[in-house]
Structure 1
Amino acid sequence: MSSKRIETKAVRTQIERTQFLEHSNPLYLTSSYVFDDAEDMRASFADEKERNIYSRYSNPNTSEFIEKVCLMEGAESGYAFASGMSAVFSTFTALLNSNDHIVSCQSIFGSTQTLFNNILPKWNISTSYFKINEVDDIESLIKPSTKIIYAESPTNPAVDILDLKRIGNIAKKCNLIFIVDNCFATPYLQQPIKFGADLVIHSATKLMDGQGRVLGGVTVGRADLIQNIYLFARNTGPALSPFNAWMLSKSLETLAVRVDRHCHNAMKVAEFLESHKTVNYVKYPFLKSHPQHDLARKQMKLGGNVVAFEIKGGVESGRTFLNSIQLLSLSANLGDTRSIVTHPASTTHAKLSEEDRLKTGITGGLVRVSVGLEHVEDIIADLEQALEI
């Protein structure tokens, strides 16, 4: 199936049909599985026999979802988690030991930064940060104890673009694990493994589900690294539920058509905002005004569904804008069929200090729009009336 395109891989992943010969993979709501005899049971536990034992370890639905993501990302193996943050936490804690060190981009999701700044230090795991425009400084941050280089591209929430190939080359040169959060792009728009990533993480809650229904996360990549993550996760319990896996696997079948429309709408929204008198600037990867526009077009098929912009007037203007929205949703989620507006300084990144927020480009007037699947003229009309208040 490796020669097939991503859209086909998402739809035509081989499933194991039951005696009923179903066309669509059924839902396997079982916590455990039975064995043929005592020897079969012993071998399955003692020798890691490849079969389902317990749904915390594996389940036909989670296996199907993982296989689809691996095929789409070009990964060797993977493991699915209960949420995007459980994927992030488990991946790092499975691969790191006390006194290890991470080099990370400064511009990352607020909860990930809280993990690096407040939780991992409990085990003497430290993090050094580089800015979006300081990729050349990465090597100067690397220590003998450094194990991982971490990045998001596009970044959350300012949609900056990182040169994944350059970072991948640094990681390979220094024998480090390169991990990329590919949530904003999805494997349809970007495959970081092609640029040197060893592991790719997704919050499947976002565009992979695409309809605001279920939580989920997944890490895919090198089989040897995934084996360590699997052994950690099967003993600590952050597994994705079979029902959520079933939902996410079905959602992947429509990922391409949904993301195409998301990106079409987002580009129109970005162009509108860029021309509005109350907006200081707009950040969207496929706008020519984006600082990394050329790089975005090399790495990504389309620009994604997230648009960031700064309203003149700072925090109060941002709050007034959100209070004036009528059609779009006020939510901390993204990647939904419904368009969502978020004020990062007071929500997703509120727990960071103002200094840390400014380092990642989060000003008081910054607004993030997750552009949905409504008619684009209706989305723009709501944004326009809110900006005129």
Structure 2
Amino acid sequence: MTGFGTAAVHGDDGLVPGGAVAPPIVQSATFSAESDERFTEIATEARGSAFYTRYGNPNHAQVAAVVAALEGAETGLVTASGMGAISTVALALLAAGDHVVVQRSTYGGTTSLATGLLPRFGVDCTQVDQTDADAFARALRPETRLVLVETPSNPLLELTDLAAVVEVAHAAGALVVVDNTFATPVNQRPLAAGADLVWHSGTKFLGGHSDVSAGVVAGGAELIERVWRTSIVTGATLGPVDAWLLLRGLRTLSLRVERHNANALALAEALQGHPAVARVRHPGLPSHPQHELARRQMTGFGGVLGVELTAGRDGAAALLAGLRLAKRAASLGSVSTLVVHPRSMWAGIVDAEQLAATGIGAGLVRVSTGIEDTADLVADFLTALERVPT
């Protein structure tokens, strides 16, 4: 295989029309055919890009090819958002009477899907502690169809042993679907560990510029076709302009992730031990309880860290108010450093009981480092901490 930078730039070679160096935006909802025979062909082609944009579009095909190259997948599929991606996967692969295993520490939207929406359609769900590989084995049933994994997890930065979970899930006949949003394929390739599907909120690191909402799924061609056939019914269609923006972001992914990794680790090292900080969560720190697992299954430790303030919610509020470079905003993976108080943000996503079960403390601040100069970013946080109560 080629390197990640090369794959990001050349993964869609052959799909760009003409001699264009920058792919054109194909802003067409539908496509014509020169004959009845050709119309039948394009109308029945799986994941085609020349019939109707809800079925596929040239810009969709380009993004899917690049993501597949980065993830080591046979093929891929784009959707209108990350939640559009995982919801479509669930609707494609589950039916009433099935069972799903999902981590307790995972993105709030995924929790709401698994524990709130799917049970309404007769799908049962069991939540497990992702740091305990045996917990997955204990939760599996004969009717288990999917195991939903996110590693590192949002926002607690806990890890899942991918190889161990894949082994027990496959032995029980279940598929493993991994949210690789935090790690990105530059730092982690779940399919190489045996996972069946990998998905991303492309809004985050893949797009990288906070200017597009998108989702991506990648994996084997047979599974992706099943997901695609559901996607044309659900209609979570990515617009051509958004697909083009996502493709543009992917071109620089390996360069940006290198800086994200460096900034997050430098900031984590600078903040741990500060009197106003109770704990820093980042898998690159030797103090992380799963640091050795991170070293084993990741090639980089990611651009996100959690900072728990000694003074709880008051400390978190003081830190957020004191920052000048970092922006208080939802989402992550941007060229700008973004900070958020997860307990406040997720109060509108999951119910109070589920929120309490997540283990997200009132003093936790999630930090998604951007690509600013490392020294400037560290100085901004240390200055802000001067006004944080201890």
TM-score by length of 2: 0.95
Per the alignment, do residues 328 and 50 of structure 1 end up closer, same or farther by CA in structure 2, a change over 3 Å counting?
A: closer
Q: CA–CA distance in 2 between the matches of 1:380 and 1:148?
A: 41
Does the CA contact (< 8 Å) of 2:264 and 2:303 recur in 1? Answer: yes
After TM superposition, the structure 1 = structure 2 runs for residues 1-389 of structure 1, keeping only pairs within 5 Å, are 3-13=1-11, 14-19=13-18, 21-46=19-44, 50=48, 52-349=50-347, 351-353=349-351, 356-389=354-387
Q: CA–CA distance in 1 between the matches of 2:222 and 2:46?
A: 15
Does the CA contact (< 8 Å) of 1:200 and 1:219 recur in 2? Answer: yes
For residue 347 of structure 1, give the secondary structure of its aligned residue in structure 2.
Answer: helix
Per the alignment, do residues 83 and 49 of structure 1 end up closer, same or farther by CA in structure 2, a change over 3 Å counting?
A: closer
For residue 88 of structure 2, give the secondary structure of its aligned residue in structure 1.
Answer: helix
For residue 98 of structure 1, give the secondary structure of its aligned residue in structure 2.
Answer: coil
Does the CA contact (< 8 Å) of 2:49 and 2:58 recur in 1? Answer: no
Tell me the CA shift for residue 46 of structure 1. 4.8
Per the alignment, do residues 201 and 53 of structure 1 end up closer, same or farther by CA in structure 2, a change over 3 Å counting?
A: same
Does the CA contact (< 8 Å) of 2:202 and 2:214 recur in 1? Answer: yes
RMSD: 1.6
TM-score by length of 1: 0.95
Tell me the CA shift for residue 305 of structure 1. 0.3
Structure 1 segments of 4+ aligned residues over 6 angstroms from their partners: none
Per the alignment, do residues 48 and 81 of structure 1 end up closer, same or farther by CA in structure 2, a change over 3 Å counting?
A: closer
Amino acid at match of 1:8: T
Does the CA contact (< 8 Å) of 2:48 and 2:56 recur in 1? Answer: no
Give ranges in structure 1 of 5+ residues lacking alignment.
none
Tell me the CA shift for residue 137 of structure 1. 2.0
Of 48-57 and 183-192, deviating more is 48-57
Tell me the CA shift for residue 39 of structure 1. 2.2
Tell me the CA shift for residue 88 of structure 1. 1.1
Does the CA contact (< 8 Å) of 1:342 and 1:368 recur in 2? Answer: yes
Tell me the CA shift for residue 225 of structure 1. 1.3
Q: CA–CA distance in 1 between the matches of 2:136 and 2:17?
A: 51
Does the CA contact (< 8 Å) of 1:43 and 1:49 recur in 2? Answer: no
Amino acid at match of 1:6: F
Tell me the CA shift for residue 309 of structure 1. 1.6
Tell me the CA shift for residue 361 of structure 1. 2.9
Tell me the CA shift for residue 326 of structure 1. 2.4
For residue 178 of structure 1, give the secondary structure of its aligned residue in structure 2.
Answer: strand
Amino acid at match of 1:379: L
For residue 117 of structure 2, give the secondary structure of its aligned residue in structure 1.
Answer: helix
Q: CA–CA distance in 2 between the matches of 1:192 and 1:23?
A: 31
Amino acid at match of 1:52: A
Residue correspondences, number: 386
Of 136-145 and 69-78, deviating more is 136-145
Does the CA contact (< 8 Å) of 2:137 and 2:169 recur in 1? Answer: no
Per the alignment, do residues 87 and 299 of structure 1 end up closer, same or farther by CA in structure 2, a change over 3 Å counting?
A: same
Q: CA–CA distance in 2 between the matches of 1:111 and 1:330?
A: 20
Q: CA–CA distance in 2 between the matches of 1:384 and 1:136?
A: 40
Amino acid at match of 1:212: S
Tell me the CA shift for residue 318 of structure 1. 1.5
Amino acid at match of 1:187: P
Q: CA–CA distance in 2 between the matches of 1:195 and 1:337?
A: 29
Does the CA contact (< 8 Å) of 1:15 and 1:64 recur in 2? Answer: no
Q: CA–CA distance in 1 between the matches of 2:362 and 2:77?
A: 37
Q: CA–CA distance in 1 between the matches of 2:226 and 2:288?
A: 39
Q: CA–CA distance in 2 between the matches of 1:211 and 1:217?
A: 15
Does the CA contact (< 8 Å) of 1:279 and 1:310 recur in 2? Answer: yes
Tell me the CA shift for residue 122 of structure 1. 1.2
What percentage of residue pairs aligned between the two structures are identical?
Answer: 35
Tell me the CA shift for residue 132 of structure 1. 2.5
Q: CA–CA distance in 2 between the matches of 1:369 and 1:9?
A: 28
For residue 277 of structure 1, give the secondary structure of its aligned residue in structure 2.
Answer: coil
Q: CA–CA distance in 2 between the matches of 1:156 and 1:268?
A: 20
For residue 341 of structure 1, give the secondary structure of its aligned residue in structure 2.
Answer: strand
Give ranges in structure 2 of 5+ residues lacking alignment.
none
Amino acid at match of 1:259: V
> 1:186-242: per-residue Cα shift (whole Å, max 9, x none)?
111110001110000100000011111101001111222111110010122111111
